[in-house]
């Protein structure tokens, strides 16, 4: 090993410090902070679960290098530059990755029989020694930056951690075994349908129309029941009032992951939005999750100055699998918080969102594992499609989903503004790395394991998808994931019934199967417009005129209910400008049929393909 390799970086400009002197007093004596700054930090420490040094750095009164130098002197350890002198790959065998992640350490160098271990917390090094048993007597700490430690853990153990990220969820609850057998059944169903059309076209169309009518009845009934539940609970009081403020307690650390992929427009705006958060920065950890092969985003982040509470994790490449849930699973191990959150790249959360999450988890029963915020959009005026997208989501998030919660049904999670109790999330194995609607799948798994999701009265604004083909691609991914999730959880119907009960299993049939069927069968329902035009319809031939009128009446009732829901959802002050556009919603959904057919094809050909939605195209100026 070369002399350059062995060279340790000595701290500069820090006087010798007396052993046993508290860190804060040492910093004052070294004139790195003032007495008043120390007192303010100590006062804050009584209210937050963070170390004094982290508070001083987060508040901007102490440089990270000065903190590390002081800690190195205090614990008689050397300070090193881990980026300039990284550990040899063979040292990965010296410590298991689980311990490195738990204690935020990394093996750095062997000197004789002694292993030098890099840490940013020399005060906690004894915990690592206890975990290692007798091996702990051959270890000594060296001090370095926590971010550099994460980088080297990522470098040394990437292959093992990447494998764990893909297989965290139990096989029986994962879709990773989706393959040739499932595709064969879909092909057989397609061939059978084609044969029926050739042999008996009228009756084939009739049966398909009956299925479309049945699923329309199911979705209409659920929407109507959810709407009634909301009326009973108060139309715009769709979320329970926040609980009384609990007695003072130390605020916990919260980690929020933000997965990024091919984002060249969003990085600066994202950081600007996150800087508005009012939660103490010493307790907030925002982790930007990047794919190692994503040069576009890496270059964008490299040009961006990140505050100390924002870090970056690069997820190593995997064969033919680049999905958001895989990236989240990988980054989860690097997070420090006891509460884990997820935001999307284009999100603009309310400034006090984290406080609301922390307070609710503090007062919620132990079985509340997840808090889901409301999604809204900051560019509803971009064009007609963005207006309709906003109306659709206002209906879902402000009426239907809260109504579903009031009815006691399983809540399919959204992909963002999600917050979990970390221990429960890890117990369930995190996210299914192969599922392209990992959020909806996780909502079902939470319910199956006896946990609950609550809706939280806090909104996150996103960019409404406002371009037709991007809308189709996004919706096809959702529909594909919905159907794969449905088939995964219906593998063992009796077990599902025991875990969820009849009512919630019935709700799953509507939320997943009937929803997909409505998009795919939409042209069959539109075919009833042929009758007013004087053209014949196959159902008239097979079932008679009364059946046609019954189906037509169902279609009209469903459209009127959808109109009512849309008007109610945007009747508040923030969305009132969208009221004139609600009657145009029937012209918005036809693209959904194309998305459904694309989803069917990909269920056979590309079940794990993540059709990424690009962001940063909104023309409207943010006003949130």
Segment 161-208, tens digit of pLDDT = 999 999 999 999 999 888 666 667 777 777 887 888 788 888 888 899
CB–CB of 287/255 below 8 Å? yes
SS (H, E, C) 178-211: CCHHHHHHHHHHHHHHHHHHHHCHHHHHHHHHHH
Domain range holding 28? 3-166
Average pLDDT over residues 502-520: 95
Tokens of 250: 């130390």
Q: Which of residues 137, 166, 195 is at a domain's end?
A: 166
Separation between Cα atoms, residue 302 and residue 87, nearest integer Å? 23
Closest listed residue to residue 422, CA positions, set 200, 257, 623: 257
* Co-location of 102 and 176 in the same domain: no
CB contact at 8 A, 203 and 358: no
Instruction: Read off the tokens for 257.
Output: 């992951």
Residues 483, 605 within the same domain: yes
Are 183 and 148 contained in the same domain?
A: no
Model-level pTM greater than 0.85?
yes
Query: Quick one: average pLDDT of 102-114?
Result: 92
Contact 492, 180 (CB under 8 A): no
Q: How confident is the model at residue 249 (pLDDT cuts 50, 70, 90)?
A: confident
What is the count of structural domains for the chain? Answer: 2
* Same domain (yes/no): 160, 186: no
Distance CA 354, CA 141 (A): 35
| Mean pLDDT calculated for residue range 228-255 | 69
Same domain assignment for residues 196 and 140: no
Return the pLDDT at 268: 74
Q: Do 422 and 313 share a domain, yes or no?
A: yes
Q: Report the pLDDT averaged over residues 49-59.
A: 85
Which phi and psi angles does 177 have, rounded to 5°? -90, 5
Looking at the fold, whether 423 and 357 belong to one and the same domain comes out as: yes
Return the residue matching tokens 């400034």: 351
pLDDT of 200: 84
Orientation of helix 267-274 relative to helix 295-302, angle to 10°: 50
Three-class DSSP category at 422: helix
Listing from the earlier edge strand, what are the strands of the sheet with 348-349?
310-315, 284-291, 254-260, 339-342, 418-421, 368-377, 452-462, 348-349
Crossing angle for the helix pair 468-489 and 438-448, to the nearest 10 degrees: 30
The last residue of a domain, from among 146, 166, 186: 166
Q: Average pLDDT of 423-436?
A: 95
Confidence band for 313, pLDDT divided at 50, 70 and 90: very high
End of a domain among 166, 201, 232?
Answer: 166
- Better-scored residue on pLDDT, 57 or 255: 255
Cβ–Cβ under 8 Å, residues 437 and 477: yes
Is residue 491 classed exposed, middle or buried when 0-12, 13-18 and 19+ CB atoms within 10 A define those classes?
exposed
Q: How far apart are CA 106 and CA 147, in angstroms?
A: 11
* In a shared domain, residues 240 and 353: yes
Check whether residue 465 and residue 590 sit in a common domain: yes
CB 165 within 8 A of CB 429: no
Spatial CA neighbour of 171 closest among 179, 180, 162? 179
Same domain for 396 and 533, yes or no, is yes
pLDDT in tens, 348-380: 999 999 999 999 999 999 999 999 999 999 899
Residue tagged 């012209």 (tokens)? 587
Same domain, 182 and 161: no
Q: Are 162 and 175 within one domain?
A: no
**More confident site: 620 or 513:** 513
Which of 23-37, 234-248, 437-451, 593-607 has the largest mean confidence?
A: 437-451
Residue with tokens 């490299």: 302
Q: What is the pLDDT of residue 29?
A: 87
């Amino acid at each position: 090993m070369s002399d350059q390799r062995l060279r340790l970086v000595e701290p500069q400009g820090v006087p010798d410090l007396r052993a046993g002197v508290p860190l804060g007093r040492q910093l004052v004596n070294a004139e790195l902070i003032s007495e008043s700054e120390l007192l303010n930090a100590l006062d804050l420490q009584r209210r937050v679960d963070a170390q004094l040094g982290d508070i001083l750095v987060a508040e901007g009164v102490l440089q990270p290098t000065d903190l590390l130098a002081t800690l190195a002197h205090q614990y008689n350890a050397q300070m090193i530059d881990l980026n300039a002198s990284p550990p040899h790959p063979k040292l990965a065998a010296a410590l298991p990755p689980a311990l490195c992640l738990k204690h935020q350490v990394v093996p750095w160098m062997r000197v004789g029989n002694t292993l030098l271990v890099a840490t940013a917390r020399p005060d906690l090094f004894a915990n690592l020694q206890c975990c290692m048993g007798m091996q702990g007597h051959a270890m000594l700490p060296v001090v370095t930056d926590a971010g550099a430690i994460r980088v080297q853990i990522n470098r040394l153990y990437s292959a093992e951690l990447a494998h764990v990220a893909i297989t965290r969820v139990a096989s029986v609850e994962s879709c990773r075994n989706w393959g040739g057998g499932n595709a064969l059944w879909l092909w057989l169903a397609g061939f059978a349908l084609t044969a029926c059309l050739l042999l008996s076209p009228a009756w084939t169309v009739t049966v398909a129309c009956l299925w479309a009518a049945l699923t329309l009845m199911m979705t209409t009934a659920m929407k109507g029941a959810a709407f009634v539940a909301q009326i009973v609970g108060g139309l715009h009081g769709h979320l329970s009032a926040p609980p009384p403020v609990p007695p003072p307690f130390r605020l916990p650390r919260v980690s929020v992951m933000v997965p990024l992929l091919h984002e060249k427009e969003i990085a600066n705006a994202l950081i600007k939005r996150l800087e508005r958060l009012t939660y103490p920065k010493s307790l907030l950890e925002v982790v930007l999750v990047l794919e190692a092969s994503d040069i576009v985003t890496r270059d964008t982040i490299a040009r961006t100055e990140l505050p100390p509470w924002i870090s970056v994790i690069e997820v190593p490449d995997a064969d033919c699998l680049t999905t958001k849930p895989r990236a989240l699973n990988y980054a989860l191990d690097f997070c420090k918080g006891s509460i884990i959150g997820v935001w999307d790249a284009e999100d603009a959360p309310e400034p006090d969102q984290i406080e609301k999450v922390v307070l609710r988890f503090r007062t919620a029963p132990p079985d509340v594992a997840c808090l889901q915020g409301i999604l809204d959009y900051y560019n509803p005026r971009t064009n007609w499609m963005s207006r309709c997208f906003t109306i659709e989501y206002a209906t879902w998030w402000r009426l239907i989903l809260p109504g579903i919660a009031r009815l006691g049904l399983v809540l399919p999670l959204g992909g963002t503004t999600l917050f979990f109790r970390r221990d429960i999330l890890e117990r369930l194995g995190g996210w299914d790395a192969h599922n392209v609607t990992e959020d909806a799948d996780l909502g079902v798994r939470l319910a199956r394991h006896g946990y609950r999701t609550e809706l939280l009265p806090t909104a996150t604004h996103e960019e409404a998808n406002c371009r037709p083909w991007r809308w189709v691609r996004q919706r096809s991914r959702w529909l594909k994931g919905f159907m794969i999730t449905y088939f995964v959880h219906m593998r063992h119907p009796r077990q599902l019934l025991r875990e969820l009960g009849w009512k919630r299993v019935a709700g799953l049939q509507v939320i997943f199967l009937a929803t997909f069927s409505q998009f795919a069968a939409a042209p069959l329902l539109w075919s009833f417009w042929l009758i007013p035009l004087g053209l014949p319809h196959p159902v008239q031939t097979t079932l008679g005129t009364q059946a046609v009128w019954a189906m037509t009446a169902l279609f009209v009732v469903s459209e009127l209910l959808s109109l009512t829901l849309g008007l109610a959802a945007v009747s508040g002050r923030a969305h009132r400008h969208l009221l004139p556009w609600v009657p145009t919603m029937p012209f918005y959904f036809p693209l959904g049929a194309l998305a459904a057919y694309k989803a069917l094809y990909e269920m056979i050909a590309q079940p794990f393909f993540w059709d990424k939605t690009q962001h940063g195209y909104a023309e409207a100026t943010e006003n949130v």
